[in-house]
Amino acid sequence: MRYRRDVVEDARQIVAAGYDVIAQEYLDWSARVQGDPRSRFLELLLARLSPGSEILDLGCGAGTARLAERHRVFGVDLSAKQVELARLAVPGARFAQADMTDLDVRPGSLDAVTAFYSILHVPRAEQPALFARIAGWLRPGGLFLAALGASGSNGVDADWLGAPMFFSSHPPADNRVLLRAAGLRLLVDEPVTMREPEGPATFHWVLATPADR
């Protein structure tokens, strides 16, 4: 990646504006990724959920239709264009343009929270508080499924698929520490390397549940 500089103060604006520009390009690009394990981990989650479960999808992108087949899904994304595409792709779910770090969610109200390649757009200094909030949103036995970043990136790629984009993440060892400190117990903990059109990329897949409930 060609990081311009270490920037966090305008990260949200960069992410929202970037995806507004590249939303369709991102969909086309994603279809060319080889070895994306999302479906495998999604099935692990769905096998543990009862029909009609309440699911919050953070950074929903163009939507995850599989989640909405048997469950009540609410997706949020910083990008208005991504929300527009999600509503078209998954009419059975609800979507809103919102910041995942500033949601008003009733504690203990969700059966699952998902975040597919989206938390890596949150400044890493804010990720511990986000993990703690997610743990609090979950019901006893609730589940958190995420594809987290697996590097020490923290800045802006000046030209990612045609627009500036902010990325921020921790190595897997640090992710584990932060998740446990947030009150989450790891059920699945697997770094996976897939092949993006530009080359290999590794992400840290986790499935977790509140530790004390």
Q: What is the pLDDT of residue 8?
A: 59
Buried b (16+ CB within 10 A) or exposed e, 62-93: bbbebbbeebbbbbbbbbebbbbbbbebbeeb
Taking only the tens place, the pLDDT of each residue in 127-140 is 999 999 999 999 99
Confidence band of 62 (pLDDT split at 50, 70, 90) = confident
Region 36-55 average pLDDT: 96
Mean pLDDT of the chain: 93
As given in the structure block, the two tokens for residue 63 are: 């939507």
Q: What is the pLDDT of residue 72?
A: 97
Q: Which amino acid is at 131?
A: F
Please state, as a whole number, how many other Cβ atoms lie within 10 Å of the Cβ of residue 121. 23
Token match 């979950």: residue? Answer: 138
Q: What is the pLDDT of residue 7?
A: 53
Token match 């949020």: residue? Answer: 76
pTM, entire model: 0.94
Q: Is pLDDT at 35 greater than 50 in this prediction?
A: yes
Q: Is pLDDT at 32 greater than 90 in this prediction?
A: yes
Q: Is pLDDT at 3 greater than 50 in this prediction?
A: no
Length of the chain, in residues: 213
Q: Which helix (H) or strand (E) holds 75?
A: strand 72-77
Q: Is pLDDT at 161 greater than 70 in this prediction?
A: yes
**DSSP result, 147-170:** EEE-S--EEEEEEETTEEEEEE--
Taking only the tens place, the pLDDT of each residue in 186-213 is 999 999 999 999 999 999 999 999 997 5
Q: Is pLDDT at 156 greater than 70 in this prediction?
A: yes
